[in-house]
């Protein structure tokens, strides 16, 4: 009988049972909180609002993904996250953070990425990739190799480094433990933009569902945005328009080689946390100004992180320190009627926090008090807090608990699909976990 057929996943290059619907899908989405309702981004539909944030593994072989990356990413794909984003992937060899970073600067690096993409799709899940260039933070060693008492160390040529070819907008060293960069020439900038187009083309050939541009955390695009690291006097330095020029050229380059239906994400550091110093820096006001320009440029979602472009940053650290930034940007965009989805990231580790960040239909009467007024762990739906983001990007909690989306569903009382092969592993309805 047909009901006894263990059907294989459609269009998969190998046999695996079809997951219909995919793991993590609410069985009654209409009654589920927003966290477990679908979200459409251009031609991409996500079955819930959980995204696996890019996580550097420093484990690639000359830029090629390995079985480690397959095992690392597959554990999230089978446990309910709607979208998994492959770690920061360098568009040029000197754009790697370490010699063991993932890359897409040559065609041979496409096949191992495609293997992971094929697996994601076989599970009914979506997969993206974060493309990046590390700028002046390149050519360092993996973090577990840093000597005790230091925060970083330069990778020598003996160990695959390139400390004499580290790019930056200006020849300003980030901190001790990093190479002294050279200021990029106009030819370097042209090569950089072309490298983004080439890496994007390879990503599309591998079958990814979306692209994320890494413009955060003190890497090259951040360095151009910030007046702390960008002291150029040409058309790429000085004014806000000049400092954002390379970012918009990169967006244009990526958008030119991806399908119209493919979403484009951008991650930024919403503030450098340098307001305590007198020198100009990149602030939340700059990020709001930038965000308002992104929809017209072809960006569909802004992934809001912060910091990491100055060793002198001072972060007001609490559980919502980055979520609040996302909320502020989202509020300003909505006031201007601009359509740009927002992703929140950072310290998202419990069910109530994840739910409250994206919950729609809240009482917006608190608008004007600002999303930055709370810093508690739990925010009740009825508290008047406005929605702060459209999806949540999770990293460290998934390292601790790959089944986080499934556990959150249980704690929120949402019945979701488990992977067929794990169907006996679900908690009983009233189990306390």
Q: How far apart are CA 236 and CA 187, in angstroms?
A: 13
Q: How far apart are CA 70 and CA 52, in angstroms?
A: 14
Q: Choosing from 219, 236, 320, 321, which is the catalytic residue?
A: 219
- The answer to whether the peptide bond before residue 372 is cis (omega within 30 degrees of 0) is no
Using the Cα atoms of residue 334, residue 338, residue 343 and residue 347 in order, give the sign of their dihedral: negative
Write phi, then psi, for 167 (nearest 5 degrees): -95, 150
- Helices 110-122 and 67-77: crossing angle in degrees, nearest 10, is 20
CB atoms within 10 A of CB 296: 9
Closest alpha carbon to 302 in 315, 316, 288, 313: 288
Residue 191: partners with Cβ closer than 8 Å, 6 or more residues away? 92
H helices of 276-403, in order, are 284-291, 294-297, 323-335, 351-358, 396-400
DSSP assignment of 37-79: S-EEETTEEESSSEEE--------BTTB--HHHHHHHHHHHTT
CB atoms within 10 A of CB 373: 11
Using the Cα atoms of residue 412, residue 414, residue 415 and residue 420 in order, give the sign of their dihedral: negative
DSSP assignment of 224-286: HH-TTT----STTSSSHHHHTHHHHHHHHHHHTTS-TTS-EEEEEES--S-TTSSS----HHH
- SS3 state at 367: coil
Element (H, E) at 304: strand 301-305
Instruction: Based on the residue annotation, tell me whether 219 is a catalytic residue of this protein.
Output: yes
Q: Active-site residues: which are they?
A: 219
């Amino acid at each position: 009988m047909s009901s006894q057929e263990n059907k294989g996943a459609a269009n998969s290059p190998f046999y695996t049972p079809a997951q219909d619907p995919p793991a993590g899908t609410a069985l009654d989405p209409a009654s589920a909180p927003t966290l477990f309702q679908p979200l459409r981004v251009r031609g991409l539909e996500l079955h819930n609002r959980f995204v696996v944030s890019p996580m550097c593994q420093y484990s690639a072989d000359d830029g090629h993904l390995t079985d480690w990356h397959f095992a690392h990413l597959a554990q999230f794909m089978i446990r309910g996250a709607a979208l998994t984003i492959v770690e920061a992937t360098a568009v040029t060899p000197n754009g790697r953070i370490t010699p063991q970073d993932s890359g897409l600067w040559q065609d041979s690096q496409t096949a191992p990425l495609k293997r992971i993409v094929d697996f994601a799709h076989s599970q009914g899940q979506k997969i993206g990739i974060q493309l990046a260039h590390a700028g002046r933070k390149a050519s360092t060693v993996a973090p577990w190799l840093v000597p005790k008492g230091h925060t970083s160390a330069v990778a020598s040529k003996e160990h695959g480094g390139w400390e004499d070819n580290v790019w930056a907008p200006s020849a300003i060293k980030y901190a001790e433990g990093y190479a002294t960069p050279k200021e990029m020439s106009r030819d370097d900038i042209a090569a950089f933009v072309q490298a983004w187009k080439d890496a994007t083309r390879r990503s599309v050939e591998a079958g990814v569902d979306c692209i994320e541009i890494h413009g955060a955390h003190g890497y090259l695009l951040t360095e151009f945005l910030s007046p702390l690291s960008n002291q150029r006097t040409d058309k790429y330095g000085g004014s806000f328009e000049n400092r954002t020029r390379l970012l918009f050229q990169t967006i244009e380059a990526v958008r030119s080689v991806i399908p119209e239906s493919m979403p484009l994400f951008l991650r930024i550091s919403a503030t450098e946390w340098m307001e305590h110093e007198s020198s100009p820096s990149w602030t939340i006001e700059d990020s709001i100004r930038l965000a308002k320009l992104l929809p017209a440029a072809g960006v569909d979602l802004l992934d809001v992180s912060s910091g990491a472009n100055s060793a002198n940053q001072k972060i007001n650290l609490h559980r919502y320190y980055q979520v609040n930034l996302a909320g502020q940007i989202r509020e300003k965009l909505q006031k201007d009627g601009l359509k740009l989805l927002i992703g929140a990231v950072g310290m998202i580790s419990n069910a109530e926090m994840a739910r409250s960040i994206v919950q729609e239909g809240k009482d917006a009467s608190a608008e004007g008090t600002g999303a930055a007024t709370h810093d508690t762990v739990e925010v009740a739906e009825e508290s008047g807090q406005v929605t702060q983001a459209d999806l949540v990007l999770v990293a460290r909690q998934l390292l601790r608990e790959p089944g986080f989306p499934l556990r959150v569903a249980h704690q929120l009382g949402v019945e979701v699909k488990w992977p067929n092969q794990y169907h006996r592993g679900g908690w009983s309805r009233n189990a306390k976990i």
